[in-house]
Amino acid sequence: RTGAWELCDLAVSVAREAAGLVRARRAAGIGHVATKSTETDVVTSADRAAERLITDRIRQARPADRILGEESGTHAGDSPVTWVVDPIDGTVNYVYGLGHYGVSIAARVADVTVAGVVRDIDSGAEWRAVRGGGAWRDDRRLTGSEVTDLGVALVATGFGYQPDRRARQGAVVGGLLPHIRDIRRFGSAALDLCLAAEGLVDAFYETGLNMWDYAAGGIVAEEAGLRVTGLSGEPAGAGMVLAAPAALYGPLHDRLVELHARAA
């Protein structure tokens, strides 16, 4: 195993260990909960402990790599590899004990994600992908949804933390609902992208995500054959992450462009 496969193997083993830590902590109670930018933006002591474990393990294995973590910012390094880490994506679900929160770890080289793993901490389900090597849930290769008609598509989305953004996101969802089968808001963008990769939802979109929310799930969706872009076809980013199988991408993209222009 060399290159991106090696990075993927490391991400998988570190994600498993971090998930074990978070599960053990959750079993003992929620731990300390604090808010960040707004009341909806929460962080717990488990997020911090899991991120510390992940960064420690990556540094032990690959001391020169850079690390970008949700809770601790950037760790410098002079290797071309940058790890993008979300210790608990779906922290609100974690706090409420709802399930559906995951560890997300991606490896990027020259601004391109080359490997990623997302592990559902509660259920133990695990999705991983290597650029050019496919997307997998355990040993099953993923190929996304076969739905071709937007009218019967189940679309996952999420909402950010800033009140004005949430109001615009709500307006866009309101405009989309009459044109799709239904909306799901599960609470973890990383896992939602994996559900889209697996075809358990037909597509996913969200505005205003941070890279740690979508880097690993994004490569899983891409390697499952979905188109993963921003709103104008550019690479997925903070502006928009839209992931859809080829047949749904065009109509969903066009509808979202129109609704975002109206909500702006």
DSSP tag of 24: H
- Going by C-beta distance under 8 Å and a sequence separation of 6 or more, which residues neighbour residue 32? 44, 45
51, 71, 198, 206: which one binds ligand IPD (CB under 6 A): 206
Per CB under 6 A, 102 contacts ligand IPD: no
69, 90, 102, 144: which one binds ligand IPD (CB under 6 A): 90
Toward ligand IPD, which CB reaches closer, 90 or 245?
Answer: 90
Alpha carbon distance 218, 216 (integer Å) = 5
Q: Output the smallest distance, CB 172 to ligand IPD, in A.
A: 13
Alpha carbon distance 4, 228 (integer Å) = 20
Binding mask 42-71 for ligand IPD (x = CB under 6 A): ----------------------------x-
106, 209, 215, 256: which one binds ligand IPD (CB under 6 A): 209
Alpha carbon distance 81, 96 (integer Å) = 35
Toward ligand IPD, which CB reaches closer, 143 or 162?
Answer: 162
Toward ligand IPD, which CB reaches closer, 4 or 22?
Answer: 22
Toward ligand IPD, which CB reaches closer, 198 or 213?
Answer: 213
- Going by C-beta distance under 8 Å and a sequence separation of 6 or more, which residues neighbour residue 29? none
Which DSSP string corresponds to 181-234? SEEE--S-HHHHHHHHHHTSSSEEEESS--HHHHHHHHHHHHHTT-EEE-TTSS
Alpha carbon distance 171, 157 (integer Å) = 13
Binding positions for ligand IPD, 106-165, rule CB under 6 A: 158-160
* Region from 12-20, 106-114, 182-190, 256-264 binding ligand IPD, contact rule CB under 6 A: 182-190
Toward ligand IPD, which CB reaches closer, 4 or 83?
Answer: 83
Binding mask 4-43 for ligand IPD (x = CB under 6 A): ----------------------------------------
Distances (CA, A) of 118 to 11, 155, 219, 225: 9, 20, 10, 17
Toward ligand IPD, which CB reaches closer, 198 or 206?
Answer: 206
Residue type, 97: G
CB-based contact 60:41 (threshold 8 Å): no
Toward ligand IPD, which CB reaches closer, 101 or 136?
Answer: 101
| Radius of gyration, CA atoms only, the chain | 17
> Degrees (nearest 5) of the Cα angle 68, 73, 79?
40
102, 116, 187, 218: which one binds ligand IPD (CB under 6 A): 187
The footprint of ligand IPD (CB under 6 A) covers: 70, 86, 89-91, 158-160, 187-189, 206, 209, 213
